Chain A
Amino acid sequence: MFQKADNNALWAIGLSLALFFIGGILTTVVPPLVDTTWAKPFENHDPAKGITGKVVPLNDLQKKGRAIYVREGCWYCHTQQIRTLLADTKRYGWRGVDAPISTPDEFVYDDPHMFGTKRTGPDLARVGGKYDEQWHKTHFRNPRDLVKGSVMPPYPWIANDPAEFKALVAYLQNLGRGKDWRPANDYEK
C-alpha cells in the first residue's frame, strides 16, 4: 500500500489525506457531537446540585468591551480558564473562597474564545467583581502605580477615552459571573 505511493503521485496524495482525515474528523467534528455540554449554556438554580447561576449572552456594551480586549491582545498574556488544578482554584479565589473550575458550558457565547495560552499576567476567568472601576482606571493608566513590579503595558488611550474604558470594564466585570460564586453577592462595581 505504502510502496505504491513511491511511484504514483495520486496514490500518495490520496493515502496521506485519508490518514489525515481519520484523526482530523474524530478530533474536530465528532467531539462536540459526543459532548453536548460544549453547546449548552450553564444554568442551575438548585443549590443542592452545586453552584448556581446562568450564563447569558453579552450585552452590547460588554461586546464592545470584548472587542477592545481582542484588539489590544490582552489574551496574549491573560488566560481565561480555571483549570482542574488545586493551585488554580486557590490562586484565583478571592477573600477566602476558591474559584470554581471553568467548564465548557460557561463559554458558549464566547466568540472569539479567550482561553489563552500564556500567563504573563494572572488568569482573568473569575476577575469579574474583584476590583472596582476606579482601580481599573488607575491600573490601565499605569499598572505600576498600583502593582509594583508589574510588566503590563500602560493603556492611556483606553483609560482616557470614557466610552472605551466603560465598555472594557463592563466586559471585565462580567467575566466568570455566569457561575454565581461569591457569597452574599460580594462583587465590586
Chain B
Amino acid sequence: MQAQFSKAEVASAPEGAVVHDDATAKWFLISSVTYFFIVGIIAVIIAAKFVWPDLMGTMSWLTYGRLRPLHVNGMLFGWLLAADMGLAYYVIPRLCGVKLWSEKLGLATAILWNVIILGAVVTLLAGLNQGWEYAELPWYLDILVVVAWIMFGVNILMTVASRKHQAMYVTIWYTMGCILWTAFVYLTGNFATLFTTGTNQANLNWMYVHNAVGLIFTPIGLAIAYYFIPRASSTPLHSHKLSMVGFWSLAFVYVWTGAHHMLHGPISQWLQTISIAFSVMLLIPVWAVVYNLFATMKGQWHQLRESVPLRFLMSGVVFYLLTCFQGPMHSLRTVNAIVSKTDWIPGHAHMAVLGCFSFFAIAGTYFVMPKIFGKALHSEALANWSYWLLMVGGLGFFVTLWLGGFWQGWQWNNWSIPFIDTVIALRPIWLVRFVSGVMMFAGIVLFAYNILATALGADERAAA
C-alpha cells in the first residue's frame, strides 16, 4: 500500500485522465498575487516609519497603528491564505483523479473572499479594530470569513469524497486537517473571545494566534510542499510512514502551545510550563517533515540550479526548520526573558510566514500558472531575479532583526539603561530592515509581474 503512494501517485499524478477547468484556482491565485503586491507597498511604508517616524504621520488613516493591521491581515488572508486555497483547488482534484466538485461554488468563494479583503482595507484604515492580534476584523467580516471557509471546505471535502483513488496522499490529509482545525481555531479567536475578558480572553487569543500559524498556515503550507517538491523534481516522496509521523504528531502537539506567548506574564505558571513542554515536542513533527523532504531530494539537488520553483520550495524547507527550531528555543524561560517582546520576534515571524510558507506558495504559483494558462512562464530570468531578491532581502531582514532584538533584550535586562537609549540603539537595525524590505518588495514586484504577464499573455509562446 505504501509503495503505491511514493512511486506511482506522486511522480506521475494522472493529469491526462481528467480535463480540469481550474477557473477557481486561477482567480484565487490572480487576486492573491495582486494583494501580495499591494500589501507589499504597505509593508515598505511601515518599515520606513521606523526610520522616519513623522512620515505620513499627521493623517489618522495612514498612521502606523492602522497600517500595521492592514499589512498583517492583508498578507495573511489577502495573499497567503488565498494563494494556498487557490493551490488546493488545483492540487486536490488532481490527487483525487476527479474534477473539482463545483467550479461555480469555487468562483463564488473567490468573489466572497475578495469582498472580505476589500472590506478589511476599508474598516482597518477607518480604525474599526477589535483589538486582538490577527483577529482585528469586525464581527460582520468574521462571519463572512466563516461562510467563505465553509464554501471552500465543502468543495474540497466533496472532491475528496468523490475521489477515484482510494488511498489518500499526505497532501490530502494536511488539507483536510487545515480545513477542520481552522474552523475551530478561527471560531475560538474571533467569536469565543467575545464572551470573555482579561487573562481568559488573552489565553483564547493566543490559542488562535499561535494556531493560525500552526494549524492553518503550517498544514496547508506543508500540503503544498509535499505535493510540489516531488512533482517539480519528478522524484517520489522518500517515506510515507515518516509523513504519517509528522502529520499525526502535529495534530496532537500544536494546539497546546498558545500560552508560550505569555511566558513570565499574568497567566498561571502551570499553563506556561505545559506550553513550554509541548513547544519543545514540536521538534518531532518538524524534524519528521524536514527529514522526509530533504531525503526526497537526495541525489536530486542539482535540479535546484534549473528550477526556480524547486529552489523556492527547498529554501522554504530550510526556513521551516530554522523557524521551528527557534520556536521551541524561545519557549524556554531563560531565552524568553531575553528575546520576548523585542524585534527578534518580527524576525522570527517573518521567517515563518514569508521565508517558509510564502516561499511554498510562490513556488506553487510559479509552477501551476503556466500550466493553467497553457503557456510558458513569461520570463525565467525575472523568476530567477525574484528568487534572489526575496532570498537576500529576506535573510537581511531576519538576521538583522535577530541580532537587533537580542541586543535590545540584553539592554532591557539592564535597567540602568533608559528605555529611550534602547530605542535609539536600534535605529541602524531598522534602517537595514527597511533596505532589506525594499529588496523583498522588488522581488514581490517581479513575481507578481511575471505571473500577471503570463496570465495576460504578454508573451504568446506556447508551453514547451
Contacts and interface: CB of A to CB of B under 8 A. Distances in A.
A91 interface: yes
Contact of A152 (B53, B176, B188): B53
Interface string A148-164: 11111111110000000
Contacts, number: 229
A13 B180 contact: yes
B253 A9 contact: no
A112 B160 CA distance: 40
Interface string A67-97: 0001111111101010111111011000000
Interface in A1-23: 2, 5-7, 9, 12-13, 15-17, 19-20, 22-23
Give the interface size bracket for B toward A. 35 or more
Q: Pick the 5 closest A-B CB pairs, nearest first.
A: A73-B65, A112-B131, A107-B198, A83-B264, A104-B199
Contact of B271 (A27, A70, A144): A27
A54 interface: no
Contacts of B423: 120-121, 149-151
A56 interface: no
A87 B176 contact: no
Interface of A: 2, 5-7, 9, 12-13, 15-17, 19-20, 22-24, 26-28, 31-32, 34-35, 38-39, 70-77, 79, 81, 83-88, 90-91, 101-104, 106-122, 143-144, 147-157
B176 A28 contact: no
B200 A38 contact: yes
A18 to B, nearest CB: 9
Contacts of A16: 173, 176-177, 180-181, 247-248, 251
A158 B299 CA distance: 62
Contacts of B267: 104
A120 B427 CA distance: 11
A85 to B, nearest CB: 6
17 contacts: A16-B247, A19-B251, A20-B184, A23-B256, A26-B256, A39-B198, A74-B65, A91-B415, A103-B266, A104-B267, A106-B266, A111-B198, A112-B201, A113-B197, A118-B346, A120-B50, A152-B53
B235 interface: no
Contacts of A86: 415
Contacts of B102: none
A98 to B, nearest CB: 10
A153 B204 contact: no
B252 interface: yes
A127 to B, nearest CB: 12
A110 B345 contact: no
A85 B176 contact: no
A74 B271 CA distance: 28
Given A19-B248, A110-B198, 18 more contacts: A6-B1, A9-B172, A12-B176, A16-B176, A20-B252, A27-B256, A27-B271, A70-B129, A72-B60, A77-B64, A87-B415, A108-B198, A109-B198, A113-B132, A113-B198, A117-B261, A149-B427, A151-B430
A87 to B, nearest CB: 4
A38 B251 CA distance: 28
Given A23-B255, A35-B268, A90 B205 contact: no
Interface stretch (B161-169, B290-298, B379-387, B391-399): B161-169
Nearest to A142: B54
A112 B200 CA distance: 11
B266 A102 contact: yes
Given A71-B129, A91-B412, A154-B58, A115 B176 contact: no
Given A19-B251, A23-B252, A113-B202, A108 B341 contact: no
Interface string B262-283: 1011111001001100100000
A19 B167 contact: no
Nearest to B5: A6
A74 to B, nearest CB: 6
B266 A87 contact: no
Nearest to A73: B65
Given A27-B259, A71-B129, A115 B265 contact: yes
Contacts of A147: 420
B65 A76 contact: yes
B160 to A, nearest CB: 5
Nearest to B131: A112
A32 B196 CA distance: 10
B53 A151 contact: yes
A68 B168 CA distance: 51
User: Which of A31, A109, A151 counts the most chain B CB atoms within 10 A?
Assistant: A151
Given A6-B1, A24-B184, A149-B420, A38 B199 contact: yes
Contacts of B60: 72, 157
A84 B264 contact: yes
B53 A150 contact: yes
Contacts of A79: 341
A165 B161 CA distance: 58
Contacts of A81: 265-266
